[in-house]
Structure 1
Amino acid sequence: MIIYLIVLSFLSSSFISSISEPETPKTRSSQKPDNPLELIQQMVERYGQEWYTHLTFDQKTTFYTADGQVERIQWWYKALEAPGALAIHFDKKNSGNGILFKDGVQYGYANGQAIQEIYKVHDLLVLGFDIYKQASLKSVEQLRSVGYDMSKMYSDRWQDKAVWVIGVDSPSDSIAQFWIEQERLLFVRSLKPGRAGIMQEVQFNKYEPIKGGWVAPEVIFNMNGQRMLHEEYFNIQVPATLDSAIINPDTFLEATW
């Protein structure tokens, strides 16, 4: 039960996926950044004018037990507006159960009722999406607020690609850090210490180009090396606009797309 609750907290996260009218975004090399702020500025300069603002998709969410067996599969429905907003409905778009992340606040809903309102910076939302659509200093402050040391970075490799590792200045498996692929300037991995000595890992995998930006069709959540959650994305859409009611905490339960 403790691990399950940690997973739920951990996945106040989730994302993204596949394809739709492929357009290959720029992948040119950037000058070596001197610090994390310069790296984020390069990310904005590379994509900021072209990266999509809205994204909707269906998510197949697979939960695993502590011994690696599939516990259950659930469908989630997501709508994103960058920067700052992610709506998640569980099981059906009108189920009355879900989560809304809006401007640093997490709202929870169950059985058609609002049950939660807490301050929360969703670092995966920032790293995967918002970072390209907002001021670089704001991203730095948000990421610092959730435990990343935004004064440290070094170069490493991940999945046969060069990456920048932010949060540490040398390899560590016990300190919060996030990894940015150097070629495409995309978030690919994070490590964060959790409760009871648990190290939480997130991977954004199999990036595909979409509407001037990128989207990862697979997101994996591990705890101490053990897979706990697997996300796969379908029916990816990049709408020109999104009904504001979808990301309004007062109308979240009634709105759909």
Structure 2
Amino acid sequence: MKKHLITGASLLLLCLTLFPSLGIALAPKPKYKNGSEVINAMYKRWKGKWYPNFQFEQRAIFYEKGQVSKEEVWQELYSQPGMLHIRFNGFESGNGAVFANDSVFHFKNFALAAKMPQVHPLVLLSFDVYFLKPEETIAKLNTLNFDLSNVYETDWQGRKAIVVGAQSPEDANSPQFWVDKERLYVLRVITNSKGSVRDVEMNNYQLLENNWVATEIVFKTDGETTLREEYYNMSFPKVVDKRWFDPEHFGNTRWQ
């Protein structure tokens, strides 16, 4: 009598033939084909659920050559879409910045010191992506030189991540952003300005009032840490005064 040996591959084929539904469970999840699909997924996942306003204070810890050079306390307020007001060392210092209408306004001693066009990549990918239509976010990312045709998956701090803008981990210089594969919030943003690489990590996400918040931001320039931000006194105002993001009202803006 001949003995019939069933190999592992044959057994798997037999199971799939007898129980076709197993094929669904065993098939790997489809990967995103491009960055546009990732942006659409982020928008769809959190539309109507992400917080439209975010108020907080932060310790701004500056580094030079690996050593802490100075520390400041900043007050910040975000409101969608694309509006961010920062005060350096309190409202009475008269120093800070306002991001609005894809521009940044820098203030020193309550006077406007500089103004320039700027799409803030961290604001765009951490907040605005959940409020703007995906095509608007995609258009802004294109102006920031992210190549949305390049996507791969990797691990980041123990979690699965989707990387948009690069093809492999060997590419650490191309503009790219990393997104948590499960939760679909941004983990890391890398930009490249004339060869100077800025790598920003959004770390220590916490669930506060049912809102995901990165409570530590680490900035690196060409591999060296230059700034670390630690957030505290965080809240999610239902309503904010839009005049607080008007540069004309910088001097008399107070939200505390």
TM norm structure 1? 0.84
1:239 to 221, 237, 240: 237
2:157 to 154, 159, 176: 159
Give the aligned residue type for 2:186. F
Partner of 2:125, secondary structure, is helix
Equivalences for 1:77-156 in 2 at 5 Å? Answer: 77-156=75-154
TM norm structure 2? 0.84
% identity of equivalent residues: 31
Return the alpha-carbon distance in structure 1 between the equivalents of residues 80 and 208 of structure 2: 15
Partner of 1:94, secondary structure, is helix
Give the aligned residue type for 1:62. I
Aligned residue number for residue 26 of structure 1: none
Deviation at 1:169, TM superposition (A): 2.3
* 1:52 and 1:212 in contact (8 A); partners too: no
Aligned residue number for residue 56 of structure 1: 55
Give the aligned residue type for 1:215. V
Deviation at 1:161, TM superposition (A): 1.3
Partner of 2:66, secondary structure, is coil
Give the aligned residue type for 2:41. Q
Q: Does 1:42 align with 2:41?
A: yes
Gaps of 5+ in 1: 1-29
Partner of 1:216, secondary structure, is strand
* 2:51 and 2:236 in contact (8 A); partners too: yes
Tell me: higher relative CO, structure 1 or 2? Use CA pairs within 8 A at least 6 residues apart.
1
Aligned residue number for residue 183 of structure 1: 182
Aligned residue number for residue 207 of structure 1: 205
Runs of 4 or more consecutive aligned structure 1 residues displaced over 3 Å after TM superposition: 210-213
Deviation at 1:170, TM superposition (A): 2.5
Deviation at 1:213, TM superposition (A): 3.3
* 1:94 and 1:254 in contact (8 A); partners too: no
Return the alpha-carbon distance in structure 2 between the equivalents of residues 119 and 113 of structure 1: 18
Partner of 1:147, secondary structure, is coil
Deviates more, 1:204-213 or 1:115-124: 204-213
Partner of 2:93, secondary structure, is coil
Deviation at 1:105, TM superposition (A): 0.7
* 1:152 and 1:166 in contact (8 A); partners too: yes
Partner of 2:155, secondary structure, is strand
Gaps of 5+ in 2: 1-28
